[in-house]
């Protein structure tokens, strides 16, 4: 499905974080729709190295790229020599920058700021050098507990991850003051779910985690009051749509990428049980994060609609329906 009239065939596209959830979906979007596009997939892949919270330092997994026909480069975006080499070797038309410490619970402030903020500026300089439009992943985490609907300009990050994404956006605003020939778009994704997220392990969405609990015959475990914990959950297809439209925007800037509707964790469990034909009820557990938990996120997507012509297509019911066969396949192949 093509989301734009623009023809990406013959274009050279750098995708960072390409072995991760969103980056790999972008790789396949271009491969499937624009077979003559040259796709360079850069990722540090997983090494087994962990952060102090026990999670992997990088979640890239080769299985996300099985079937990919473009060029794969294993490397760290913090490695300036590598970036210089890539800068010399290719002439990019677009950079889709998804690489990041994506773990919102990581506490290594040094690594987070270096990887998410400083490497972004290096890549942005590369984009300017090549006259390549830059599309990068910001995050709804920039809002922290700011009131719904979350709106660009009203941020309050609650952790170093959200801080790092906000600092990326500040860099963007700074560069946009210059008279550049390229467009720069930061996309503040809300809670994304969909195929190729499984290898994010514990940081994958609750959609696949509840899905696998149910497939194992277990009652899904939810925090008490989960019918009142609401988030703007967005299906990967709509995130891809936003990225493609952001490649040739009407206006550079920072945009929210959500559905504009808040749904509850209880809804996820209920829709999954309906799709999987189970009636296991719900197992409520106390919420240990009371006080530091976002209870209501909902993206204000007015500007995204206006300036990117973005139109989300997937209600949660549609997204889970589309995703369910992959949730089952992954369960068979990886979990059982
Ligand atoms: N998934 C979501 O709900 C969500 C929400 C908001 C923002 N985001 C942002 O979207 C982007 C993609 O997220 P995702 O969900 O696909 O996460 P992900 O962890 O699957 O993808 C990030 C990729 O970046 C790679 N990476 C990490 N450090 C790197 C480094 N130093 N050099 C090169 N590669 C490195 C990882 O190996 C991984 O493959 C990230 O920037 C993330 O912060 C995601």
pLDDT tens string 264-319: 999 999 999 999 999 999 999 998 877 666 789 999 999 999 999 999 999 999 99
Pairing state between β 191-193 and 221-223: unpaired
CA distances to 42, 139, 153, 294 from 191, in Å:
24, 9, 19, 12
What pLDDT is stored for residue 75 in this prediction?
98
Alpha helix stretches (DSSP H) within 17-152: 21-33, 80-89, 109-112, 119-130
Contact present, 204 and 197 (Cβ < 8 Å): yes
Count the neighbouring beta carbons within 10 Å of the beta carbon of residue 311: 13
126 belongs to a structural domain = yes
210 belongs to a structural domain = yes
What pLDDT is stored for residue 292 in this prediction?
66
Residues comprising the chain, all counted: 336
105 belongs to a structural domain = yes
Across the range 245-272, mean pLDDT stands at: 97
Question: Residue 54, class by beta-carbon neighbours within 10 Å (0-12 exposed, 13-18 middle, 19+ buried)?
Answer: exposed
Q: Is the peptide bond preceding residue 149 cis, with omega within 30 degrees of 0?
A: yes
What pLDDT is stored for residue 291 in this prediction?
67
Q: pTM (2 decimals)?
A: 0.98
227-245 per-position pLDDT tens digit: 889 999 999 999 999 999 9
Across the range 30-58, mean pLDDT stands at: 97
What pLDDT is stored for residue 288 in this prediction?
85
60-74 per-position pLDDT tens digit: 999 999 999 999 999
The protein residue whose alpha carbon is closest to atom 21 in ligand 1 is 20
Question: Residue 199, class by beta-carbon neighbours within 10 Å (0-12 exposed, 13-18 middle, 19+ buried)?
Answer: buried
Q: Is 200 a catalytic residue?
A: yes
Mutate to test the pocket of ligand 1, among 15, 16, 20, 82 (most ligand atoms within 8 A of CB): 20
Contact present, 304 and 241 (Cβ < 8 Å): no
In CATH, what number is assigned to the domain containing residue 126?
3.40.50.720
Q: Taking all residues of the chain, what is their mean pLDDT, rounded to a whole number? A: 96
The protein residue whose alpha carbon is closest to atom 37 in ligand 1 is 60
73-120 per-position pLDDT tens digit: 999 999 999 999 999 999 999 999 999 999 999 999 999 999 999 999
Residue 277 alpha carbon to ligand 1 centre in Å: 33
Q: Which helix (H) or strand (E) holds 328?
A: helix 316-330
Q: Is the peptide bond preceding residue 37 cis, with omega within 30 degrees of 0?
A: no
* Rg for the chain, CA atoms, rounded: 19
Residue among 183, 202, 168, 194 nearest 99 (CA): 168
Q: How many domains, in total, are found in the chain?
A: 1
188-221 per-position pLDDT tens digit: 999 999 999 999 999 999 999 999 999 999 999 9
pLDDT band at 35 (very low <50, low <70, confident <90, very high): very high
Ligand 1 proximal residues by C-beta, below 6 Å: 17, 19-23, 43-45, 58-60, 76-78, 98-102, 115, 137, 139-140, 189, 191-192, 200
What pLDDT is stored for residue 1 in this prediction?
87
Q: Whole domain around residue 300: which residue ranges?
A: 12-335
Question: Residue 285, class by beta-carbon neighbours within 10 Å (0-12 exposed, 13-18 middle, 19+ buried)?
Answer: exposed
Residue 100 alpha carbon to ligand 1 centre in Å: 4
Residue 21 alpha carbon to ligand 1 centre in Å: 7
72 belongs to a structural domain = yes
What pLDDT is stored for residue 294 in this prediction?
72
122 belongs to a structural domain = yes
2 belongs to a structural domain = no
252 belongs to a structural domain = yes
Q: Which residues contact 25 (CB under 8 A, 6 or more apart)?
A: 194, 195, 196, 236, 239, 240
What pLDDT is stored for residue 290 in this prediction?
73
3 belongs to a structural domain = no
Out of 11, 165, 200, 245, pick the active-site residue: 200
Contact present, 71 and 41 (Cβ < 8 Å): yes
Q: Report the distance separating Cα 115 and Cα 149, nearest Å.
A: 29
Residue 306 alpha carbon to ligand 1 centre in Å: 27
């Amino acid at each position: 499905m093509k989301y734009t009239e623009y023809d990406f065939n013959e274009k050279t596209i750098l995708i960072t974080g390409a072995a991760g959830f969103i980056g790999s979906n972008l790789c396949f979007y271009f491969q499937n729709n624009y077979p003559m596009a040259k796709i360079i997939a850069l990722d540090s892949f997983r090494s087994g190295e962990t952060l102090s919270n026990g999670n992997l330092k990088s979640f890239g997994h080769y299985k996300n790229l099985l079937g990919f026909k473009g060029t794969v480069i294993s490397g760290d975006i913090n490695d300036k020599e590598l970036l210089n080499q890539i800068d010399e070797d290719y002439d990019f038309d677009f950079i889709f920058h998804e690489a990041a410490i994506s773990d919102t619970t990581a506490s290594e402030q040094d690594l987070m700021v270096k990887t998410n903020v400083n490497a972004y500026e290096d890549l942005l300089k590369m984009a300017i050098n090549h006259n390549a439009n830059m599309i990068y992943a910001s995050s709804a985490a920039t809002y922290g507990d700011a009131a719904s609907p979350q709106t660009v300009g009203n941020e309050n990050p609650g952790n170093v991850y959200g801080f790092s994404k906000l600092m990326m956006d500040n860099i963007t605003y700074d560069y946009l003051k210059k008279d550049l020939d390229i467009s720069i778009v930061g996309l503040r994704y809300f809670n994304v779910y969909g195929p190729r997220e499984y290898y994010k392990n514990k940081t994958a969405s609750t959609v696949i985690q509840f899905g696998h609990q149910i497939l194992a015959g277990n009652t899904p475990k939810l925090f008490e009051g989960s019918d009142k914990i609401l988030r703007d959950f967005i299906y990967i297809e709509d995130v891809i749509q936003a990225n493609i439209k952001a490649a040739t925007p009407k206006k550079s800037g920072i945009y929210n990428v959500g559905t504009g509707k808040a749904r509850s964790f209880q809804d996820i469990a209920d829709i999954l049980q309906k799709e999987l034909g189970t009636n296991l009820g719900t197992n409520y557990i106390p919420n240990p994060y009371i006080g530091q938990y976002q209870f209501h996120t909902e993206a204000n997507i007015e500007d995204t609609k206006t300036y990117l012509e973005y139109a989300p297509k997937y209600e949660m019911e549609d997204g889970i329906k589309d995703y369910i066969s992959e949730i089952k396949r992954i369960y068979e192949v990886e979990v059982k």
